Amino acid sequence: GGGGGGPAAGTPSAPQNVSASYNASLQQLTVTWNPPATDNGSGIVQYRASTADGRAECYAAPSANSCTISASDVPIPFRKPYNDRNASQPESDWVLYNTTGQAAEYLRASAENGDQAAVSWANGVYAQARNAVGWGALGFAVAQPKRPPGAPTDVVATGKYKAVTVSYKAPADLGNPSGIAAYLVRTDTGQACITRVTAENPLECTYTDLKPGTKYTFKVQALGAAGWGEFSSVSNSASPYDLKLDVLSRPEVKFLLFKRGSNLEAEGRAPGLRAGTELTPVLQLGADGALLRLTKDTAKVDRDGNFTWSRKLDKKDNGKPASLYFTYGNDKTATLTAKLGATIGLPSAPRDVKVKSDTSGFTVSWKPPARDGGSPISEYLMTSDVRAPSWAQSKFVSCTVKAPATSCTMPGSTTVFDPNKTYTFSVVAKTERGTGPQATKKWKGEIYRLNIFKRARIDSEILLSFTAIGWAKDARGFEIQAKVGENGTWKKQGTASLDPDYVEPIGDWIGMLPKSSTAGSTVFYRVKSDKGFSNEVRFRLSSSFEYSFG
């Protein structure tokens, strides 16, 4: 068959959106389609799918939208696709697309005329529907090489308060298959910023960890189904600016110092702003005093990014509470508060640092410092010598939390642990006055990782294999749970133990699908332990066999 001579009158039109995928590990070619636009008044009774050369085919019921051609029947062109420019391009570098018009006619004619060279070049498949009248028109898919997207365009960097935002436009060539999943922005000094493409995310990325006053350039590349594309041309240079307020640089000086005949004094830094930029002070004297915006008493940034400011006060203000900050546009420094004549110090170290680990990662917790130095604690910084994954922006794991929170949880996916190493965790408290001393914790705790790495299904029988790092090699009592559908309820399916005969801590479980599962539904599995849960895997019950490893 295959429709030689064209379809007869009254037969169905061609199946729509024909596509195909070749599974190299299973050596199977699966063809999928949507129903024809019309069955010409006679219901469809069968579908057929075939390779373009007609040497291998499969059949499906009228309610189906796919069928699979077995390994021995799949022609060589599908196993090792090629074109007239590259005779060794691997199948992982090809993708199948539906086609119509001249391309479909060329493919159909090539198949009917036995032109194997043309058919092999096209690597095509077709699908066809049959009604009571006969077989209908052919719907084709043609293999084309995968291609990463082109370079993004119009890359512009804009310096902001403690940040630089890089905007860009999508490349003209979206790759093959068409579509962008993410963008990577990289500085000329190597820092990376990744943005996933969603309806909510604009085409831009903001850096908040660059050094104020330092100029940076940027380039962007796009990620498609075929991998990363080329980098864009280099952007303009830009740098973040900062506004920092501090006491005068004399050691142990009193902030907002008032003496008989002296001034109210402060100094700060504004790296990234041009020399001569004016900052406006905002001063409040007394708890109920008005906020004075001193537009005629500004502080100017010097060529090194520093500024100083002073104002003569009356003796009657001595002993009053006072607050001061500086503004530039919509940005402002921290607000420093003190009683005139009083000293503001730094906070002491956080107390009682603890580290706890489970299958989801690890949590560092602490208690607030005994003293805040006379200024409220704004945030805590936790640092460690735990190595971060290669894709992370920083070399080691760290986090910043806003007060009053006193803990930080890091997912297991963001850490690279060595179970034989002792790690150091440090925590410091920050106020508007500065950063206090650090509290440290040495930790060599138990590290737990639970991961399903292999799954298989033959009809209703399920096989799961999982690793359990951190447990004894003969550990028992791992509970296998399943649910039917995204919103289903997790239910126990059985238990599994680690096999002590394996070199690695590995457990296996064989069981049956839940009784409530039906054809076409999706069933999820996970492993429960006394330390948490594993990753989730799923089975889509649209075929009789499924398998994945890794």
Q: Could you please report the per-residue DSSP string of 218-283?
A: EEEEEEETTEE---------B--B--EEE--SSTTPPTT---TT-EEEEEEE-TTSPTT-EEEEEE
Looking at the fold, whether 217 and 192 belong to one and the same domain comes out as yes
Ranking 231-245, 256-270, 320-334, 458-472 by mean pLDDT, the lowest is 256-270
Domain count of the chain?
5
| DSSP per-residue string spanning 406-455 | -EEEEEGGG-B--TTS-EEEEEEEEETTEE---EEEEE-----EEEEEEE
Task: Single out the residue in 443, 459, 479 at which a domain terminates.
Answer: 443
- Radius of gyration from C-alpha coordinates of the chain: 34
Quote the tokens at residue 291.
């906020």
Q: Which helix (H) or strand (E) holds 110?
A: helix 101-112
Instruction: Using alpha carbons, select from 58, 95, 54 the residue that is nearest to residue 75.
Output: 54
Is residue 77's pLDDT more than 70? no
User: How much is the average pLDDT of 38-57?
Assistant: 85
Residues 45 and 119 in one domain: yes
Query: Which sign, positive or negative, has the C-alpha torsion 175, 177, 180, 181?
Result: negative
Asked if 239 and 159 touch (Cβ cutoff 8 Å), the reply is yes
What phi, psi does 417 have (nearest 5°)? -95, 145
Is 141 found in the same domain as 20? yes
In a domain, 234, yes or no: no
Average pLDDT over residues 103-126: 44
User: In DSSP terms, which residues pair with 469 in a beta bridge?
Assistant: 449
Distance CA 37, CA 272 (A): 63
Note whether residue 98 is domain-resident: yes
Q: Tell me the C-alpha to C-alpha distance, in Å, between residue 403 and each of 235, 376, 422, 453.
A: 37, 9, 28, 40
Higher pLDDT, 457 or 445: 457
Q: What is the pLDDT of residue 197?
A: 87
Question: Are 147 and 83 contacting, i.e. CB atoms less than 8 angstroms apart?
Answer: no
> Is the CB of residue 331 less than 8 Å from the CB of residue 161?
yes
**Both 27 and 140 in a single domain?**
yes
Q: Are 441 and 354 in contact (CB under 8 A)?
A: yes
CB 84 within 8 Å of CB 77: no
Residue 23 and residue 124 in one domain: yes
Q: How far apart are CA 80 and CA 71, in angstroms?
A: 13
DSSP assigned state of 344: P
3 inside domain:
no
Roughly how many angstroms between the first and final C-alpha of the chain, as a whole number?
41
159 occurs within a structural domain = yes
The answer to whether residues 108 and 20 belong to one domain is yes
Query: Which among 160, 156, 266, 281 has a CA at the least distance from the CA of 212?
Result: 160
Query: What percent of the chain shows pLDDT beyond 90?
Result: 29
- Whether 247 shows a pLDDT value over 60: the answer reads no
In this prediction the pTM is: 0.37
Choose the most confident range, by mean pLDDT, from 24-38, 157-171, 257-271, 382-396. 157-171
Same domain for 370 and 318: no
Q: Considering 173, 204, 228, which residue would you say is the last residue of a domain? A: 228
Same domain, residue pair 134 and 177? no
Residue range(s) defining the domain that contains residue 355: 351-443
Upstream peptide bond of 404 is cis (omega within 30 degrees of 0):
yes
Residue 11 is assigned to a structural domain of this protein? no
- Compute CA distances 66 → 29, 76, 545, whole Å: 10, 21, 14
Residue 4 resides in a domain:
no
Residue 278: which CATH number? 2.60.40
Q: Tell whether the model's pLDDT for residue 24 goes beyond 80.
A: no
Residues 303, 362 share a domain:
no
HSE (side-chain half, CA atoms, 13 Å) at 156: 7
pLDDT in tens, 484-541: 999 999 999 999 999 888 877 889 999 999 988 888 899 999 999 988 888 888 898 8
- Quickly state the pLDDT bin for 27 (edges 50, 70, 90): low
Could you read off the pLDDT of 272-303 as tens digits, one per residue?
Answer: 788 898 999 998 887 788 888 988 889 898 88
Residue 160 counted as domain residue: yes
End-of-domain residue from the set 202, 228, 254:
228
Q: What is the average pLDDT score of the chain?
A: 78
Residues 6+ apart with CB under 8 A from 176: 95, 144, 145, 146, 147, 226
DSSP states along 28-76: EEEEEEE--S--TTS---EEEEEETTSS-EEEE-TT-SEEEE-GGGS-H
Q: In what order do the strands lie in the sheet with 449-458?
A: 506-512, 461-469, 449-458, 545-549
Considering the domain architecture, whether residues 326 and 260 belong to the same structural domain is answered as: yes
Distance from C-alpha of 204 to C-alpha of 222, rounded to nearest angstrom: 12
- CATH number of the domain where residue 538 is located: 2.60.40.10
CA separation for the pair 309, 267 (Å, rounded): 6
Tell me the mean pLDDT in the region 78-85: 34
- Answer whether residue 237 is part of any domain: no
Residue 260 exposed, middle or buried by CB count within 10 Å (0-12, 13-18, 19+): exposed
Q: Give the per-residue pLDDT at 360.
A: 65
> Same domain for 21 and 110?
yes
Tell me: do 455 and 497 sit in the same domain: yes
Determine the distance from the C-alpha atom of residue 18 to the mean position of all C-alpha atoms in its chain, rounded to a whole number: 31
**Residue 51 above 90 pLDDT?**
no
Strand partners, 126: 50, 140
Contacts of 114 (CB under 8 A, 6+ apart): none
